Structure 1
Amino acid sequence: MDLPHYQLFIDGAWCDGSRGQTMLSQNPATGEDWARFACAAPEDVNRAVAAARRMLDAPVWRDMSQTARGKLLHRLADLIEKRAAEIGEVETRDSGKLLAETVAQTGYVSDYYRYYAGLADKIEGAVLPIDKPDMHVFTRRAPIGVVAAVVPWNAQMFLTATKLGPALAAGCTVVLKASEQAPAPMFEFAKLVHEAGFPAGVVSVITGDAEGCAIPLTRHPDVDRIAFTGGPETARHVVRNSAESFAVTSLELGGKSPIIVFDDADVEAAANGLIAGNFGASGQSCVAGSRGLVQRGIYDTLVARIVAKSRDIRVGDPTQAGTHVGPLCTPAQVENILATLAKSKGQGATIRAGGAALDRPGNYMVPTLVECPHPDVETLKVEMFGPVMSLLPFDTEEEAIELANDTVYGLGSGVFTQNLARAHRVSGQLRAGICWVNTYRAVSPIAPFGGFNQSGYGREAGLEAILDYTRTRTTWISTSDQPMANPFVMR
């Protein structure tokens, strides 16, 4: 049977890679090949970037009013919402994510494009109250230029929206590099970009391996801005690659987020929050709250509640409505989790639930609860990227804050307490870009998203994100009829 074949989308046209390389994608639920993808070579990257550079100065895009750009984004949002079920089905087949989540998430990201559509003609400059009365000085914001947007497979429609929405609203052009793992939804998305009416070359979508695609793109001298989401090690390469061009770079990386549960918390809410933070999206989330810090007075009760709830979690076919946890994207993730669990048990950890892979085709891991006797257990240190929850007891508020901040990461965090003063006090001391109180894993186009430390820098979503895709230009106009008094003295 012939597999579906996805081509690259470069300069408004579909094409195979110039060197003819392809790759296969497996359905994580079955382990079977289901699609074939064209791989970009450096020549293809050059064509995509050249098209983006050309369109920056093309009147059809450069002179398009900001309001008209907003209308294009509105049209794209409508198409995404209309095709959410189709794109969700492709994403589930390609990545193993739950169909219920891929469809809902795809539908919701249309709101991100609408949000930035509304901001497109709100990008304003200012007249400055300058200290020289014979000068009229004003600023305006110009598009930063060609953007390389690099997204991972695990939340690609969402993470694409947080980059393309503000970039296109600001008037930039974009080369989107989809992950070489499960890139199919990005090519389905490219069809909608074309259908929405964006001029050819404003958005290109490519994929491929590091040598052929990622390195040439992030090292390209005509790329002005890199918006990267991925792992810290890859991010280090991205930063090094950008050194020659001085491309402005933002990094949204991984995390090892703490969820602190105080003994006055609602047990049911806390249990559900920990389950959402660890088993939601099969644990394949950069904000996974995989360090559960639980005050000793509530610890045994909460552990018992989570163990009981874990028995009702249904692991299986991600296309079925009753499934809670689907497969992991790659077999390597299952192998890494099992190895980390084995090491953690050697360090004194106790597996209270799960701890094994399912003996069936596909990359399935049983949701796992690990009790940790000390903070140096391996599952508390490394990003698991799978359905593994680690719990550690603490005694005092000060100890909880110290444990929560004892990490190289700083993306998400959570606090469960019914004490409002404590909620404000503790959330203000956590070194993380996001803190959820009495909830977890909520997002909005209005709320900035990003981390501290090795979870990266820069922010996505929210008002400030669109400003990050612009540069300020300052214009000085002399209103004097007199020549400069002394050309050798700075005014």
Structure 2
Amino acid sequence: MLQERTNAPAAEAAYPELGLLIDGDWLGAGERAGQEVVDPATGAVLGRLPHATPADLDRAVAAAERAFASWRTSSPMTRSAVLRRFADLVRANAEDIARGITLDQGKPLAEALAEVRFSAEHADWHAEECRRIYGRIIPPRDPRISQSVVREPVGVCAAFTPWNFPFSQAVRKVCAALGAGCTIILKGPEDTPSAVVAIGRLFTEAGLPPGCLNLVWGEPAEVSRALIEAPAVKKVSFTGSVPVGKRLAALAGQHMKRTTMELGGHAPVLVSEDADVEAAADALAAAKLRNAGQVCISPTRFYVQRSVHDRFLDRFAARLSAARVGNGLQAEVAMGPLCHARRIAAMDALVEDARARGAAIATGGQRLDGPGFFYAPTVIHGAADDILAMREEPFGPLAIVTPFDSVEEALRRANSLPFGLASYLFTRSADTAHAVSHGLSAGMVSVNHFGLALAETPFGGVNDSGYGSEGGAETFDGYLTTKFITHLHAAP
């Protein structure tokens, strides 16, 4: 079935003014170089984003280092209050922030609004947990000695966040750093900057002291090198692709900088023959449509037990082919555009390779007519495991459905790639759920639903998908150092 899209004109919406935030000051274009920000649904230019000069980057590092001297010793109650006020402001401004995200990133407005409101929960979580950063007392071997462990903020942090969830990914890093008592320089995504600008404005309104949060933009390789090599920067946090993450981790390693890496995935889905096949197909179709598949935890490799494979494939493909694709500002749109023209080219390359290797296309497989970067939701089947789409993260509305015969086979194939972020299982069997959830090589396993990325749960991967966790009780681990203090209270 040829996927159709809506071409109705988008509702008018103002796009925010863009700038750098350094030491509490907003800096505009001036004499700075910059780039245009484009609406992926229409190709229209939304605004111009200024790039930081080398002097701007130096000033941001100096401001963060200066602010750290006082923020590190601030009361946890003070930090909690700022984060709580920020969360309240996010909720109050959610619709405006979400509209900006839909304009520059493309996701449907309902998804953008959910991202923003969900991020407020993360701010609340960090506001509460930062009041509970505890040390401990270790009983001594000698009564004249006291032994304690304290956890201290690591220092100035540099964070790099992606374009697919421009608000939530940045909020996690900023709230973790600030809650721990660190200061932070954030380089957000140049293609989708409105959400990060909103974070800066709302933290300023929430009473965050100048210099604690600085926002910079620019050519990614140049900015990342400048920040990571700056002696004052002690911690690096990155969310993005595996190749870029490996380069940044290597650079950070040369300078012994602490790192948190949340990298790409290629999430396997195992659908057992005892699962509710129709319910699984419906749920997985909705998950595949989310943000046009531009999600690091998006289900991509579908291993379906042979006896129910055809039933699942028919239902799953039908749900995707019926989805309304169009401008995210239009009502009832289930999937918006891809964020960049280069994602269209990437989808075409994967589909052409699959066809050349004998695979079939159940639905989709082509760009949609009209302006913007729209690609039809696509299902590949009848493919061997060596097609590119099975080996490379699609990061788009593409799914590969393939049969398996035994759980052992499915686990072997699911674990055959170096990725290890999210994974999914649908079954009614407790034994299968136990075996698969423990057998999958992944940082996160979700059984019979999509329960990942909650504020109170850890989010992170293994292998090439990175290391370190965001969220949950682990959220501050990457932003704190552990110090042991031993004290002899009397002369021996």
TM-score (norm 2): 0.95
Q: 2:23 aligns with which of 6, 11, 14?
A: 11
Residues 130 and 390 (structure 1 numbering): CA distance in 2 closer, same or farther, change over 3 Å?
same
Residues 257 and 62 (structure 1 numbering): CA distance in 2 closer, same or farther, change over 3 Å?
closer
The alpha carbon displacement at 1:44 in A equals 1.3
Tell me the equivalent position of 1:100: 110
- Secondary structure at 1:228 match in 2: strand
Tell me the equivalent position of 1:231: 241
User: Any conservation in 2 of the 1:277–1:287 contact (CA below 8 Å)?
Assistant: no
Residues 9 and 350 (structure 1 numbering): CA distance in 2 closer, same or farther, change over 3 Å?
same
Tell me the equivalent position of 1:469: 479
Residues 221 and 351 (structure 1 numbering): CA distance in 2 closer, same or farther, change over 3 Å?
same
- Secondary structure at 1:147 match in 2: strand
The alpha carbon displacement at 1:441 in A equals 6.0
Structure 2 residue 376 is matched with structure 1 residue 366: yes
2-structure distance, mates of 1:390, 1:271:
13
Structure 2 residue 286 is matched with structure 1 residue 276: yes
Q: 1:51 aligns with which of 63, 78, 95?
A: 63
1:87-486 equivalences under 5 Å are: 87-440=97-450, 442-482=452-492
User: Any conservation in 2 of the 1:432–1:451 contact (CA below 8 Å)?
Assistant: yes
User: Any conservation in 1 of the 2:154–2:479 contact (CA below 8 Å)?
Assistant: yes
Tell me the equivalent position of 1:30: 42
The alpha carbon displacement at 1:49 in A equals 1.1
1-structure distance, mates of 2:99, 2:136:
46
The alpha carbon displacement at 1:425 in A equals 1.3
The alpha carbon displacement at 1:241 in A equals 2.1
- Secondary structure at 1:243 match in 2: helix
Task: For residues 311-341 of structure 1, give each alpha carbon's deviation from its aligned partner in whole angstroms, at most 9, with x where no partner exists.
Answer: 3200111111200010000011001111110
The alpha carbon displacement at 1:3 in A equals 8.4
User: Any conservation in 2 of the 1:180–1:208 contact (CA below 8 Å)?
Assistant: yes
2-structure distance, mates of 1:17, 1:144:
33
User: Any conservation in 2 of the 1:176–1:206 contact (CA below 8 Å)?
Assistant: yes
The alpha carbon displacement at 1:402 in A equals 0.5
Residues 323 and 3 (structure 1 numbering): CA distance in 2 closer, same or farther, change over 3 Å?
closer
- Secondary structure at 2:476 match in 1: helix
Q: Which moved more, 1:123-132 or 1:281-290?
A: 123-132
The alpha carbon displacement at 1:472 in A equals 1.5
- Secondary structure at 1:463 match in 2: coil
- Secondary structure at 1:182 match in 2: coil
1-structure distance, mates of 2:221, 2:398:
33
2-structure distance, mates of 1:3, 1:387:
27
Count of matched residue positions in the alignment of Structure 1 and Structure 2: 479
Tell me the equivalent position of 1:42: 54
**Percent identity between the aligned chains?**
35
Q: Structure 2: any 5+ residue segments left out of the alignment?
A: 1-13
1-structure distance, mates of 2:289, 2:434:
27
- Secondary structure at 2:459 match in 1: coil
2-structure distance, mates of 1:307, 1:360:
23
User: Any conservation in 2 of the 1:24–1:34 contact (CA below 8 Å)?
Assistant: yes
Q: Which moved more, 1:461-470 or 1:186-195?
A: 461-470
2-structure distance, mates of 1:214, 1:372:
42
2-structure distance, mates of 1:347, 1:402:
22
Q: 2:33 aligns with which of 17, 21, 24?
A: 21
User: Any conservation in 2 of the 1:17–1:41 contact (CA below 8 Å)?
Assistant: no
- Secondary structure at 1:9 match in 2: strand
2-structure distance, mates of 1:397, 1:211:
43
The alpha carbon displacement at 1:81 in A equals 0.9
Task: For residues 70-103 of structure 1, give each alpha carbon's deviation from its aligned partner in whole angstroms, at most 9, with x where no partner exists.
Answer: 0111000000111111000001101111110111
2-structure distance, mates of 1:475, 1:201:
30
Cα-Cα RMSD = 1.5
User: Any conservation in 1 of the 2:452–2:459 contact (CA below 8 Å)?
Assistant: no
Q: Structure 1: any 5+ residue segments left out of the alignment?
A: 483-491
TM-score (norm 1): 0.95
1-structure distance, mates of 2:16, 2:290:
30
The alpha carbon displacement at 1:273 in A equals 3.1
Task: For residues 162-205 of structure 1, give each alpha carbon's deviation from its aligned partner in whole angstroms, at most 9, with x where no partner exists.
Answer: 21222111100011110122112101221001000000000011
1-structure distance, mates of 2:15, 2:92:
26
2-structure distance, mates of 1:353, 1:372:
13
2-structure distance, mates of 1:107, 1:282:
20
The alpha carbon displacement at 1:310 in A equals 2.3
- Secondary structure at 2:247 match in 1: helix
